[in-house]
Amino acid sequence: MNKILAANGWLFPNVNWENMWDATGETIYMSVIALAFTFIFGILLGLLLFLTDKGQLWQNKAVHAVTAAYVNIFRSIPFIILIVLLIPFTRSLIGTMLGPSAALPALIIGAAPFYARMVEIALREIDKGVIEASKSMGASNRQIIFKVLLPESMPALVSGITVTAIALVSYTAMAGVIGAGGLGDLAYRDGFQRNNSDITLVATIVVLIIVFIFQFIGDYLTNKLDKR
């Protein structure tokens, strides 16, 4: 045990493991909560994009144009700028600009449009004939959405959320700028600014491990769901 601690002190002299552990917890907290909301809002937005498009169930030019514009604008704004732009909004919603929860609005608003496009693509992949068959059986639009569109696109929806999850982890690092905490914040302030490269290295490794875990879970679920 002493040997390990000694080696630890020698390899990573400046790493405070307690801080590292807290930062990891914050990163995971931000990623997972933001991911859950992104999944819901992304699917809603994606469905809206898909269903209001030409030739679809709720064909509606105006709604489609507005949704598409919203998605395109928020997907295009660089995340670091989006955070700054959303400061007033976040403050009125959360009441503070500090801590991991304060990063959530920006994370969700940034990631949901990104995921919405993937949802739209996934829904487009569904064979039109299957939708036609459901209509011929007398299915209502609600039944088509919940019994056909979502189940049939589930593997693509899950692999899309996996990609989004990984993007979210990197967004959380940027959210450190507004004082959100997390591994990115730790790597930047304690690592880079104080010239402790060992902290930056360890924080990077932990981020990589989190990304790999997300990827593994996503791939596993996608394979399990895909019966094609």
Partner 1 sequence: MITLSKLAKTFQTRDGQVTAVDHIDLSIEKGEIFGVIGYSGAGKSTLIRLLNMLETPSSGQVTIAGKNMNELSGKGLRQARQEIGMIFQHFNLLWSRTVADNIAFPLEIKGMPKSEQKKRVNELIKLVGLEGRGGSYPSQLSGGQKQRVGIARALANNPKVLLCDEATSALDPKTTDSILDLLVDINKKLNLTIVLITHEMHVIRKICHRVAVMENGRIAEQGPVLDIFKRPKEEMTKEFVKQVTEPEETEEAIRHLFKDDGIGRVLQLTFTGSDAKRSLITDVVRKYDVSVSILQGKISQTQHGSYGSLFVSVTGDNQLIDETIAFIRSQQVEVEVIHGE
Distance, C-alpha 36 to centroid of its chain:
8
Task: With CB under 8 A as the rule, give the number of residues binding partner 1.
Answer: 21
Angle at CA 70, nearest 5°, toward 65 and 74? Answer: 150
Output the six-digit token pair for 204. Answer: 């990077």
Q: Measured in Å, how far apart are the chain's first and last C-alpha atoms?
A: 51
**Smallest Cα–Cα separation from 115: which of 85, 79, 156, 87?**
156
Task: At 37, list the tokens.
Answer: 């909301």
Quote the least distance from Cβ 46 to partner 1, whole Å: 18
Does position 63 interact with partner 1 (CB under 8 A)? The reply is no
Residues 6+ apart with CB under 8 A from 4: none
Q: Which of 59, 140, 195, 197 binds partner 1 (CB under 8 A)?
A: 140
Binders in 89-128 for partner 1, by CB under 8 A: 127
- Judged by CB under 8 A, does residue 136 bind partner 1? yes
Q: Which window, 58-66, 85-93, 134-142, 169-177, contacts partner 1 (CB under 8 A)? A: 134-142
| Minimum CB–partner distance for residue 112 and partner 1 (Å) | 25
Q: Are 147 and 185 in contact (CB under 8 A)?
A: no
139 binds partner 1 (CB under 8 A): yes
- In the complex with partner 1, the residue whose CB is nearer, 106 or 131, is 131
Residues in the chain: 228
Name which of residues 143 to 162 contact partner 1 (CB under 8 A): 143, 147-148, 151-152, 154
Q: Is 189 in the site for partner 1 (CB under 8 A)?
A: no
Q: Token digits for 212?
A: 């790999």
Smallest separation (angstroms) from partner 1 to the CB of 228: 5
For partner 1, the binding residues (CB under 8 A) are 127, 129-130, 132-140, 143, 147-148, 151-152, 154, 225, 227-228
